[in-house]
Structure 1
Amino acid sequence: MSRSILRATVLAALPLLACASAASAHATLETKQAPADSYHKAVLRVPHGCEGSPTLKVRIQVPDGVSGVKPQPKPEWVLQTTIGKLATPYDDGHGKMITEGVTEVSWTGRLLDEHYDEFVMRVKLPNKPGEKLYFKAIQECEKGVHRWIEIPAAGKSGDDYKEPAPQLTLTPKQ
């Protein structure tokens, strides 16, 4: 193959590769696995806005069984936590049953579409090795919204969905 044909082929493929990359740019967790019954730094990565529109708010729903939620503040963003009744109460380790806790964390600010950012919270994971936890996230933009809330059906994976919920698999405690 001549160099000019090869060059033309590569140049023609670049826009397709860029589109494929943008299409697969989902909100994800930095770490895909963590030990059960451990403290974990959950980092939600937001790679873009909504079709060119800046992100104004990011909300993360705390999965059932996750406790001790401590979100990390971000400069120039307003941090809020929602306290609610827990679906599954738990013992705090000192004989007290905890029935309420953080059910959602939100950050309100401004993230341009061409920028990337991370939203962090420290959590205590449940002692359920093998379980998959889904950190459903809503990304509200100036124009539009991404609802990263789709949970895979049996036999499917997040790759089968347009807006999959960020997933964390619990591994055996080490």
Structure 2
Amino acid sequence: MRVPHAAAAVILSVVLLFAGATAGHAHVTVEASSTEAGSWAVLTFKVPTESDTASTTGLRVQLPVDAPLLSAQTQPVPGWEAEVVRSELPEPVTDDHGNTITEAPTEIIWTATGEGLAPSEFGEFKVSVGPLPESGTLHLPAVQVYSDGEEVDWVQQASAGTEADRPAPSIEITPATPDGDQDAAVDAAQPEEAGSQNFLGWASLAVAVLAVLLAGVALLRRPRVRDA
């Protein structure tokens, strides 16, 4: 079956559109082992090399200062060195123990000690942080550095109804689970479980009594054997 030239052109355009969309979605992203407010989490930054000619040789990630993360510890990555930059906060904050905090980690810098991430490769960079903010979206703007000197800013925040071309890595903070909820659920389950056990006990006893009665009735109804 021959495809008209106009139809072939449309098909080719669609293929190119999807190919471009796929290539454009190879963003720097982050995943968190926990998103619960107030918890500690391991953040994993996934960094793909989008350049066809240069390698990724650096990554800089900015940490929030309005709701600072009081601790940041990087996991070693072979062929890379990491630096956690601590800075004085614009406004002091108070931690859960009532201590006044005037400085906190504000940036993490990963630098390749070798060739870095070649074209078509990606790397993962992990950092343990905490405690997470109480609510909202945790934006973590990043700058990707290439071996040819180019720097790609992943710092944009999407607005209502629009999608950022180079979005900043981010995670959505979820509400904290109250400590008493799990205990309350356990306590609520215990009476129900005990009631179920009592019911089963009485049911078993009733079955046993019924079996004895039936056996007795059967014995009484047996015909007597007369002596010869």
Normalising by structure 1, report the TM-score: 0.82
Q: Which amino acid aligns with 1:37?
A: G
Assess if the C-alpha contact under 8 Å between 2:139 and 2:169 holds in 1: yes
The Cα shift of 1:16 comes to: 4.4
Deviations 1:79-121, CA, capped at 9 Å, x for gaps: 1111101234332433321111211001111111210111111
Identity of aligned residues (%): 28
The Cα shift of 1:30 comes to: 2.3
Cα distance change, pair 29–156 in 1 and its aligned pair in 2 (3 A): farther
In the alignment, structure 2 segments of 5+ residues that lack a partner are 178-228
The Cα shift of 1:33 comes to: 7.4
Aligned length: 165
Determine which structure has greater relative contact order: mean sequence separation of CA pairs < 8 Å that are 6+ residues apart, divided by chain length: 1
The Cα shift of 1:70 comes to: 1.1
Question: Which residue is 1:133 aligned to?
Answer: 138
Give SS of 1:106's match.
Answer: strand
CA root-mean-square deviation: 2.5
Give SS of 1:111's match.
Answer: coil
Give SS of 2:22's match.
Answer: helix
Normalising by structure 2, report the TM-score: 0.64
Question: Which residue is 1:60 aligned to?
Answer: 61
Assess if the C-alpha contact under 8 Å between 1:42 and 1:121 holds in 2: yes
Question: Which residue is 2:74 aligned to?
Answer: 71
Report the Cα distance in structure 2 between the residues aligned to 1:127 and 1:111, rounded to whole angstroms. 32
Q: Which amino acid aligns with 1:162?
A: D
The Cα shift of 1:122 comes to: 0.9
Deviations 1:113-144, CA, capped at 9 Å, x for gaps: 21011111111144422x11110000010132
More helix by share: 2
Cα distance change, pair 31–52 in 1 and its aligned pair in 2 (3 A): farther
Q: Which amino acid aligns with 2:43?
A: A
In the alignment, structure 1 segments of 5+ residues that lack a partner are none
Report the Cα distance in structure 2 between the residues aligned to 1:52 and 1:19, rounded to whole angstroms. 18
* Deviating 4+ runs (over 6 angstroms): none
Report the Cα distance in structure 2 between the residues aligned to 1:137 and 1:120, rounded to whole angstroms. 14
Give SS of 1:113's match.
Answer: coil
Deviations 1:29-86, CA, capped at 9 Å, x for gaps: 1249711111011111112243532111001001232221112121110111111012
1:123 correspondence with 2:129? yes
Q: Which amino acid aligns with 1:136?
A: P
1:151 correspondence with 2:154? no
